[in-house]
Amino acid sequence: MKIAIVCYPTFGGSGVVATELGIALANRGHEVHFITYKQPVRLELLGNDIHFHEVHVPEYPLFHYQPYELALSSKLVDTVKHFDIELLHVHYAIPHAYAGYMAKKILEEEGIYIPMITTLHGTDITLVGNHPEYKPAVTFSINKSDVVTSVSENLKSQTLQLFDIKRDIEVIPNFIDKKKCNTEFTDCQRSLMAEDNERIITHISNFRKVKRILDVIRIFHGIQQQIPAKLVMVGEGPEKEKAEVLCDKLNIQDKVIFLGNSNEIDRILCFSDLFLLPSETESFGLAALEAMMNKVAVISSNTGGIPEVNKHGITGFLSNVGDIDDMVKNSLKILKDDSTLLQFKENAYKVASEFDITNILPLYESMYERAHKSNLKSSY
Ligand code: GMT
């Protein structure tokens, strides 16, 4: 099938899921066209089955805000016509579903009918989409999509609660490729990061407020008061500076390593013992799943879809948002001795394996088949 994928190209869960899905679909023989304003960060190889079309927004002095949606809709129309695209899959409702719907309608004027699938990722519903400034347009574009999927049961129920939705939402969880985690690194180079007797704690995110980065620092502060440990912070974002200041204030700057953004997540996770995800809200927690697939136990908050991934007492522990003391206590339970840590690590890997791409890709493919067939029926 010829599929157009619209996503955000930057570091962040929805872009990662969209890119990995596109690559996996191309490996299965589909022709995939990414349409966005920059080449997605995890998309290294373009070829016969993977194409990238850049959305360019021409500047004009009159524009206070650049009309990205307009440029995206036009790019979609052109790409669908030029490459005979059969299906459009937009990731993150804002503004992709809205722009996708416009493209679909423009194409219909020319007798071209194309199904549009919208995948809801989280903040497009829980934080941004819910704003009165966006809500009517987001509700409209969800209702008008041919198929809507969400990445967790929790996100589905939040969408139904927060918006006036008159249609079904299918849950297709985030996934990860087990093969990629298993085979690539034999030598973890742990010694570059920590002494042999130190535990390695990791956090990976885009350092936005929702991730509660300062909680990460405080949890680590509590852990290292009890056992030797290092904290590896991966990512960039608005809260990073505050986190660095807090490390100085707590006098743990020598034990915290800020690595910036990285394309080598697996390489970092392979020497990690514990992953911290104390987010305010998280529709799924792809970063936790990536950690678990690399045999890293998880300490997280119990919000949103995280309990669908991190299993309390099995793959790690969950606490109320902001309950730093509980998160420190739970971390120490996992890290206290090697055999307990090993058990949590093995459990994490086992649960993560349920989300392997080989289990999730067929769900997307069969949904595409259904959408394609019902589109063919309705266009005659
Ligand atoms: O929160 C992020 O790190 C980025 C954000 C995004 O939209 O790019 O992630 C959301 O989508 C991911 C993939 O579906 C989910 O795993 C994340 O939980 C979700 N983030 C939030 O809900 C805060």
Q: What is the pLDDT of residues 149-175, one digit of tens each?
A: 999 999 999 999 999 999 999 999 999
Beta strands 274-277 and 256-260, pairing class: unpaired
Residue 61 has pLDDT above 70, yes or no: yes
pLDDT at residue 115 tops 60: yes
The preferred substitution site among 7, 10, 14, 310 for testing ligand 1, maximizing ligand atoms within 8 Å of CB, is: 14
Nearest to 191, CA basis, from 226, 230, 222, 235: 230
pLDDT at 146: 96
pLDDT at residue 194 is higher than 90? no
Query: What pLDDT is recorded for position 371?
Result: 94
Nearest atom (ligand 1) to Cα of 8: 8
Tokens describing residue 292: 């678990």
Q: Which residues lie with the beta carbon below 6 Å from any ligand 1 atom?
A: 12-15, 17, 92, 121-123, 151, 174, 205-206, 210, 281-286
* Domains observed in the chain: 2-175+357-378 (3.40.50.2000), 178-353 (3.40.50.2000)
- State residue 183's pLDDT score: 45
What mean pLDDT comes out for the span 177-188?
A: 69
Q: Give the ligand 1 atom nearest the CA of 282.
A: 22
Task: Determine if the pTM surpasses 0.75.
Answer: yes
Residue 53: pLDDT band by 50, 70, 90 thresholds?
very high
**Cα 28 to Cα 46, 174, 252, 357, 361, distances in angstroms:** 15, 18, 48, 12, 10
Gap from CA of 290 to ligand 1 centroid (Å): 13
Contact 92, 378 (CB under 8 A): no
Pick the residue whose CA is nearest to atom 21 on ligand 1: 282
Q: CB within 8 A of 253, min separation 6: which ones?
A: 244, 247
Q: How far apart are the CA of 195 and the centre of ligand 1, in A?
A: 33
The pLDDT value recorded for residue 130 is 79
Mean pLDDT across the chain: 93
**309 alpha carbon – ligand 1 mean position (Å):** 14
pLDDT at residue 221, rounded to an integer? 98
Ligand 1 centroid, distance to 123 Cα (angstroms):
7
Task: Summarize pLDDT for 319-355 with one digit per residue, the tens.
Answer: 999 999 999 999 999 998 999 999 999 999 999 999 9
What separation in angstroms does the CA of 345 have from each of 225, 293, 354, 357?
23, 9, 15, 20
CA separation, residue 49 to residues 29, 61, 372 (Å): 7, 38, 19
Residue 2 backbone dihedrals phi, psi, to 5 degrees: -100, 115
Q: Judge whether residue 184 has pLDDT over 60.
A: no
CB-count exposure of residue 57 (10 Å: 0-12, 13-18, 19+): middle
Tokens of 219: 């949890």
Tell me what pLDDT residue 186 has.
57
Q: Are 318 and 302 in contact (CB under 8 A)?
A: yes
Nearest ligand 1 atom, CA 286: 16
User: Tokens 């912070």 belong to which residue?
Assistant: 233
- What ligand 1 atom has the least distance to the C-alpha of 306? 18
pLDDT band of residue 187 (cuts 50, 70, 90) is: low
pLDDT tens-digit readout, 259-304:
998 878 888 898 999 999 999 999 999 999 999 999 999 999 999 9
- Exposure string of 183-221, with b = 16+ CB inside 10 Å and e = fewer, is eeeeebeeeebbeeebbbbbbbbbbbebbbbbbbbbbbb
Question: Side by side, which strands form the sheet with 256-260?
Answer: 256-260, 229-234, 199-204, 274-277, 297-301, 316-319
Ligand 1 mean position, distance from CA 16 (Å) = 9
Decide if 301 contacts 280 (C-beta within 8 A): yes
**Which pLDDT score, from 0 to 100, does residue 182 have?**
57
Q: How far is the CA of 152 from the centre of ligand 1 (A)?
A: 11
- Work out which ligand 1 atom sits closest to the CA atom of 280: 23
Give the per-residue pLDDT at 44: 72
Which residue out of 123, 176, 261, 293 has the highest number of ligand 1 atoms within 8 Å of its CB and is therefore the one to mutate?
123
Q: Which long-range contacts (CB under 8 A, 24 or more apart) does 309-315 make?
A: 309/284, 309/285, 309/351, 309/355, 310/277, 310/285, 311/347, 311/351, 314/344, 314/347, 314/351, 315/344, 315/347, 315/348, 315/351, 315/352
Q: Which helix H or strand E contains 328, and what residues bound it?
A: helix 324-335
Higher pLDDT, 135 or 11: 135
For residues 342 and 63, what is the distance between their CA atoms, to the nearest angstrom? 57
Distance from residue 305's CA to the centre of ligand 1 (Å): 10
Q: Say how many Å lie between the CA of residue 227 and the centre of ligand 1.
A: 32
Torsion angle defined by CA atoms of residues 240, 127, 71 and 77, in that order, rounded to the nearest 10 degrees: 130
In angstroms, the first-to-last Cα distance of the chain is 20
Looking at residue 190, its pLDDT comes to: 82
| Average pLDDT estimate for 129-145 | 91
Atom of ligand 1 nearest to the CA of 284: 18
Residue 380 has pLDDT above 70, yes or no: no
* Residue closest to 236 by CA, chosen among 86, 71, 11, 31: 11
Nearest to 92 by CA among 149, 37, 146: 149
Looking at residue 280, its amino acid is: E
Q: Which atom of ligand 1 is nearest to the CA of 92?
A: 7
Distance 286 CA to ligand 1 centre (A): 7
What sign does the CA torsion over 160, 164, 168, 169 have?
Answer: negative
Report the atom number in ligand 1 closest to the C-alpha of 14: 8
Which whole number is the average pLDDT over 135-143? 94
